[in-house]
Structures are given as C-alpha cells and as structure tokens.
Amino acid sequence: MKKEPIPSVKGTRDFYPSDQAIQNWLRGVIQKISQKYGYQEFEGPELEYLDLYTDKTSREILEDQVFILKDRDERDLVLRPELTPTLARMVAQRSAELPAIIRWYCFGRAWRYERPQKGRGREFFQWEINILGPETPEADAEILAVAADFFRELNLTPLEVTIRVNDRAYFDQILKENNIDQKKFIPLLRVIDRQEKISLEEFTQSLANEGLTSDQIEAIKRYLSERDYSRSPWLTQVFESLENYPGVREYVTFDPTIARGFDYYTRTVFEAWDKTGQLKRSLFGGGRFDDLTATLGGQHIPGVGMAPGDMPIEALLRSLDKLPIIRPITARALVTAFDEKLASKSTRTAATLRQAGISVESWVGGVTKLDKQLKYASHQNIPFVVIIGPDEAKDGKLTIKNMQSGDQQTVDFERAIEILKGKV
Amino acid sequence: MKKEPIPSVKGTRDFYPSDQAIQNWLRGVIQKISQKYGYQEFEGPELEYLDLYTDKTSREILEDQVFILKDRDERDLVLRPELTPTLARMVAQRSAELPAIIRWYCFGRAWRYERPQKGRGREFFQWEINILGPETPEADAEILAVAADFFRELNLTPLEVTIRVNDRAYFDQILKENNIDQKKFIPLLRVIDRQEKISLEEFTQSLANEGLTSDQIEAIKRYLSERDYSRSPWLTQVFESLENYPGVREYVTFDPTIARGFDYYTRTVFEAWDKTGQLKRSLFGGGRFDDLTATLGGQHIPGVGMAPGDMPIEALLRSLDKLPIIRPITARALVTAFDEKLASKSTRTAATLRQAGISVESWVGGVTKLDKQLKYASHQNIPFVVIIGPDEAKDGKLTIKNMQSGDQQTVDFERAIEILKGKV
C-alpha cells in the first residue's frame, strides 16, 4: 500500500546539493565581505522568548507573522522573525566585558508567516551585520559601505540597486517644529512606511486619522518631498564619511520617505531597493538602534546594522541573469569496482588515495557493469575515473580515465596521485 | 527604569565569536571528511509536518521530546528532532531523477525537549551523512569508516571511543528461530535498548512482560552475550569490507546489545561510545533504513547513515583536553583615527587597503586617545595597527606597528601592503 507523499511545509525550501551550492556561494560572498571589514561571526538560538520582541520589532510582524509555540511552562516561544534582538540580548548580557567596538555578523535562519511569493518565503536566511559601541556617523557610513560593497561583489550596479537613507531623528525634529505630539512618532512612521503602497488621498486621510491638522499634514508632505539632507547634521556627516569609500557614494541616496517598520530604530534608517522593476520592493533594510540593549536590560550600547535576506537577493540575481552557475563540489575521482573479486582492491585503493589527500568516491553499488559506473561519474561531473581490472591488479597499476577528454592511461600509484592532483 | 534582562531559552546556546570559532572549526572538520569521500552538502527545512515522523522516528522522541506548533490551518508542525526523515522525504520526492548512489551530508540544527546536561541541549547541530541507493555491506562499511576517520581527525583514539555494531535482521532471525511473534520485534528492541540502564532482574521482567516464555528469554540472553558475528552473513561482509580501510577496524566492535531507538532501522545499527567514562553514554548512532523513502511515498531506495551531534563530541573533547584552541578570525590591521581632522584620511586608507585585498578594521569610535585604540587592537588580537598622524599625512606615508613585537616602521603605501600581507 503506497502512502501519499508527505510534503514539505509551505514557504520552506529544500536545498538539494545543486541549491545548496548556490547557498554556499552566497554564504562565501557574505563571509568575504564581512571579514574584509574585520567583522567576526556569531550565532544565536533560533528559538527565543516572545518578550524579546515585544515593543521592539515591528507590530505587523508580531501580530501577524511570528511562528509561536509554548514551552512546557506555557511561556510563549517564537522562531526568531529577525536576528537583531538576539544580537542585542547577547551584547546586553555581556555588556561589561565586550570591547569598545563590536563588529559581529551572522548568516542565519529566520521565520515569518507571510504569503510566499517571488523572493519571499516563510523560512529564510538573513545576513545580520552590525557595529555596536560607537554612536558615530562613521559607523553608519561603514555599514552603508558594506552594503554597497556587497552589491559590487554580486555585480549589481548603481543602475540596478540603490540604498535610500533617512534620519528618524530629523523626522522627530520636524514633528517638534510643527507642534506634533512626540507620541505620534511611531504611528506616523508607520503611515509613511505604507505611503508607497497607497494613494495620495488615502495617505492624507491616514495622516488626518492620526489627528494632524491640515497645516501639519502639509508640513509632513513638504518634509517628504525634500531632496536635500543638509538640515540633518547627522546625515550630512554620514554622507561626508561615505566619500572616503571609493565607488560607494553612487549607490546611496537621501530619501525622507524611508521610515522602516521596526520600532527600535532611533536615527539612521535605510532600505536597499531594486531599481530594475523585477521585484518592485525593498531588498533589505537597516538602521541605527541606540536604545535596544538598554531596553533589554543591559548597558546602553548604541548600534547600527542591516539584515539582507537571501531570497530577495537571489531572486533579483536570477531575474537579471546574474546568478553565477555554481555546481556542487564533487570528488576528484570515482574508483570503480571491476567485479566481485576485485571490489575489495578498489575499496582499498580508494582509501589509500584519500590518505594521499585526494577526495574520491568508491563504487559501493555492488556488482555493476563498468559502463553504468562511468555513466554515474559523468552524471556527477566527477573529473576522473579509476579502473582496476585483472591486468592492473596483476601489474600493480591503475587505469585513469579523464572524463572530459576521454583519454586514459595505465600508471603506477605515484603517477596516479600526480594526475589526480592535477600536477601533470 | 531598568528592565529585567530577557534570558535565552533554556537548552539553547549563544555562540559569541569565540564559541562560533569552535563551531566553525567543527564544521570544517565535518566538511573535510565528507568531501574526502565525495559527499555533497544538502539542507532542508527546520520545520516539518509531524506526520513525517509518526511511526518512523522513536516513540520516545515523538511522545515527549518534540517542539510542536500549529500552522494557521491547525496542522501540527514540529521543529525537526533529527534530519533523516527530511533527507528521506527529499529523496522520495525526486526518486526518479537522482543518481544510483546518493552521498549527501548536512550539518544542521535539530531540537529535542530533553533535560539539558553535559553534552546535551534542546537545540543542537547534527552531522547527517548518508548513502542512499545501494543495499550493500560495502556502503555500511564506508559509513563506519567515515565515523572512524572523523574520530581520527579529532584525535580520538580507539582507546577513547568505540563503534559498537549490530544487525537487526540477525536479531529478527533469532526471533524466528525461537518462535517469537514478529510483532514483538520493535517492542523487544526497545527493551534491549534500555538494558544497560536497568538491572538484570528488571530486564528479565521486561522480557516476560512482552509475553516471552522462559526458554525464549534464555534465547534472547544467549543472543545478547554472543561475541561472534559470524552467524550474520551481512555483518561478516561489513567487517570484511572494513579491512580495506587502514586504521579503521580497531574502532569497530560487534555488539548484539545495540538496538537503537529509531523504528526505521532495518539492518545494520551502530552506536559510537565514549570509553573514557567522561560522558557515560552513546556519542551518536546510525544504521541502515531500507524502507524509509517508500514509507514516505517515494520509490524504495535503501539507505545507511549516521548523525553525530556537536554537543557530545565537543563535551568529550573538552573533558579530554583535546578541543583545539581556536580564535575568531580577525582583521590583519586596525587603521586608527589620529584626530578629528585626520579621521577621514584613515577611513580612506582603510578602504584602499581593503581594495588591495587586506582585511582591515577602521576606528569608527570617534575622537579617542591612540592608547585606547591600541588597547582595542591588542584585546582583539589584531596583528598590526596603522597610524596616520600629521607627519605621515604630510609625507604620504603610514606607520605600521606590529602588535606582537612592538616594532614600528614608517613606510609608503606599497611597502605597507607587503608588510600587511606578510610578504616581508
């Protein structure tokens, strides 16, 4: 009785070796860029208490998008919807002993219960990269430079992607200048964050719903149409610092409409956007969160960072035909098994080749025609095949077949190692 | 008002960079061994439907140890308690297109709601490594050789660890010979699996509770005291094949008391044990599961594999003082910021050094005494410090300080690159 196949959970991904090879390539790019700037890798639990996110992460995520479960004491646990709170908790826990500048990165999983679509799943990976300690525009500029460097490494040009930067503290100042209650700071940011998805009329109505007068609404609209960051001394210095990074400035633009959904951002906020129209939304975001560690019970340690997700980046690269062709790493050789009598000798040869530092597969599929074994090696893209037939066994030799050229030669063991190591 | 710090969830781990460095080292060992034998990396979701495990994984895990949650359609989801069912599901899904021999590995997270203790947590990593396709003793021998090779790479000797191997099919034959109902196969394996934890009296009673006559009980006890595997033709061939791997045989012993908790094992089962008495329990296990892909709705694709966890291995290495000292990767140099005026020049120099392929941190901590910046570099184990003071700026030079020797020299940019690259 054949059972119905059990499917994977909606919004999750199976990484077959060909998919995992791409994922490893992306991880390699992320490691390279992170290490180039001296960031050290950390990781944290994927399960956290719900309290870690309450009043900090975006309300939208907490209300609708977290995977929640209960431990046996009925406490609410969640699968982390993002990594910044875990990072901040870890820093808060050891605030006394950590260095003056904390540069940490991680490429880890996160979950959100969203509608799966192009470049968006319920289980995904995020590159969490942050500087904690300094409350300086230079730190913000470095994070933006890292983002631009990442794009450059991926061969994404300033014509294809852009990083839109804003300053929440400057927005706060606009509220003060227009006598808008500070309590409306977060609600108004949420309205602005939705702005691109709604009509101008709806937008005006949303601002009015927050209790703003028509003068105040006009002031907000004026603020949103500004194209000059000089009224924010902070952003002025961030942009100044950016000039020190060759080839970075052209990726970054000032954009007062950037608000970001996360409540914990205090100052610089930014979003990277696809300009090609392939994804029609933000690729990732980041910003400065100066109060998060204190909110979590640690010392006040300011921070700035970002969290590019793997899925939108891969989707964009795929759309633009810029995802490199990456194949899984294979063994250098398949050692075939000639017949039942000689199989043992093949296994032993394979083991000896491995001791010589060569990665080899041995044929453990039982008595099988040589043809089929060769076909397997070819299907797996294994570059060489080693054959030990009766003649080779008698003479103490190996036959090595180059699967690409089809050439084969019968050689002794030392010579075989040289060939397999690519030295001849 | 200072809040209470929010703790991490019990049984989970925070990987600070110094912990992550060890984790990365272990991942490196696992990758090295896996690739040496030609295994390719895969990954899967960490969330799966509960159905994937029912009647396959151990009853103990399913009843007491899974982290369970509901999706919005009220279907039961679990955080994977192990990785073999995910692997089997993925193979089952593509059974028609996969090669004759599937060698896949993964180093991924799993969860079990157990009492945290030395070498055991609720969230941990497992090295899942398997061969699917061949139903041959040679495949089983290779997995055992991989396990022994792993131990050797970790500098764990046959005096410290051992791999105890058994054959469930041979046990099945014992049942037949003694007219014991086949339905008692799994329940009796469970009794045997608990054997080492209970008294001989309790053990005899447990067998009697399964409805065995005293003759049958004696037969089971006789079977358990056997030290010769020759009555199992399968194991005889496995041990024969093992002889082809230099230095492996001494890690492996026949042990009829090995039963394994997982229901899906059909033939070879094995457990690696610590012999030093540090952990007093199995380090990891594995075995042959010939029916799992068919049970999950795919073609019948036999398989064999194992799943070493990171925590018992690390705990054992630590107990034996064999865990190597691994430090996080640092930048080659810290480029200091001399004063406010020269900070920009430092940032620009750092960016240029990075373009030359050198990993550098730049001081983004604002105006800070040079002493404090040097202290930071020393605390971080950064080997070089670059100083650009007024003299250097005027002459277009850099001062490079070797943090270990204390030597410093003022050089031009080309020479600086050579020093930082370790070429002089």
What are the strands, taking DSSP E only, across A9-147? 40-41, 47-49, 68-70, 76-79, 102-111, 123-132
Q: Distances in Å between the alpha carbon of B6 and those of A90, A263, A293, B16? A: 10, 18, 11, 17
B422: distance to nearest CA of chain A, Å? 16
Q: How far apart are CA A171 and CA A266, in angstroms?
A: 10
pLDDT in tens, B136-171: 999 999 999 999 999 999 999 999 999 999 999 999
Contacts of A347 in chain B (CB under 8 A): 138, 141, 241, 244-245
On the question of pLDDT at B7 being above 70, the answer is yes
Nearest CA in chain A to B139: A364
Note the pTM of the prediction, 2 decimals: 0.96
Three-state secondary structure call for residue B329: coil
Measure the CA–CA gap between A171 and B363, rounded to whole angstroms: 29
Handedness of CA B373, B377, B397, A246 (dihedral sign): negative
pLDDT given at position A2? 56
> Please, are residues A310 and A359 in contact by the beta-carbon 8 Å criterion?
no
In this complex, the residue of B3, B46, B94 whose CB is nearest that of residue A123 is B46
In percent, the amount of chain B with pLDDT more than 70 equals 99
What's the mean pLDDT in B167-179? Answer: 94
Question: What local confidence, expressed as pLDDT, does residue B333 receive?
Answer: 98
CA A119 – CA A320 distance, rounded (Å): 13
Q: Which of B290, B22, B152 lies closest to A351 in space, CA to CA?
A: B152
Are A361 and B298 in contact (CB < 8 Å)? no
The closest alpha carbon to B143, from B87, B86, B104, B193, belongs to: B104
Residue A345 burial class via C-beta count within 10 angstroms: exposed 0-12, middle 13-18, buried 19 and up:
middle
Residue B4 pLDDT > 80: no
Instruction: Judge: B47–A123 Cβ closer than 8 Å, yes or no.
Output: yes
Asked if residues B299 and A4 have their Cβ atoms less than 8 Å apart, the reply is no
How far does the CA of residue A360 sit from the closest CA of chain B (Å)? 5
Nearest-by-Cβ selection for B15 from A44, A52, A334: A44
Distance CA B150, CA B146 (A): 6
pLDDT at A1: 47
Per-residue pLDDT of chain A (424 residues; tens, 9 = 90+): 456 788 999 999 999 999 999 999 999 999 999 999 999 999 999 999 999 998 777 777 787 889 998 888 888 999 999 999 999 999 999 988 999 999 999 999 999 998 888 888 999 999 999 999 999 999 999 999 999 999 999 999 999 999 999 999 999 999 999 999 989 998 999 899 888 889 999 999 999 999 999 999 999 999 999 999 999 999 999 999 999 999 999 999 999 999 888 889 999 999 999 999 888 789 999 999 999 999 998 999 999 999 999 999 999 999 999 999 999 999 999 999 999 999 999 999 999 999 999 999 999 999 999 999 999 999 999 999 999 999 999 999 999 999 999 999 999 999 999 999 998 7
Are A344 and B99 inside 8 Å of each other by CB? no
Q: What pLDDT, on the 0 to 100 scale, is given for residue A3?
A: 65
DSSP string, B382-408: -SEEEE--HHHHHHT-EEEEETTT--E
Strands, E, within B63-198: which ranges?
68-70, 76-79, 102-111, 123-132, 161-167
Question: Parallel, antiparallel, or unpaired: how do β-strands A333-335 and A384-387 relate?
Answer: parallel
Give the model's pLDDT for residue B1: 47
- Tokens 């079977």, residue located: B223
Give me the pLDDT at residue B137, please: 98
pLDDT, tens digit, 9 for 90 and up, residues B90-119? 999 998 899 999 999 999 999 999 888 888
Alpha-carbon gap, residue B68 to B226, rounded angstroms:
41
Contact A142 B93 (CB under 8 A): no
* Lateral strand order in the sheet of B360-362: B360-362, B333-335, B384-387, B398-402, B408-411
Half-sphere CA count of A321, side-chain side, radius 13 A: 0
Of B266, B323, B262, the residue nearest B291 (C-alpha): B266
Residue type, A212: L
Return the SS3 of A387.
Answer: strand
pLDDT tens-digit series, residues A240-288: 999 999 999 999 999 999 988 888 999 999 999 999 988 878 999 999 9
Closest partner residue to B36 among A245, A354, A376, by Cβ? A354
Q: What's the number of CA atoms in the CB half-sphere (13 Å) around residue A298?
A: 27
Residue A249's pLDDT is what?
97
Q: Which residue of A has its CA nearest to B24?
A: A41
Write down how long chain A is: 424
Give the pLDDT confidence of B30-70 residue by residue, as tens digits.
999 999 999 999 999 999 999 999 877 777 778 788 999 88
Q: pLDDT tens for residues B209-266?
A: 999 999 999 999 999 999 999 999 999 999 999 999 999 999 999 999 998 888 899 9
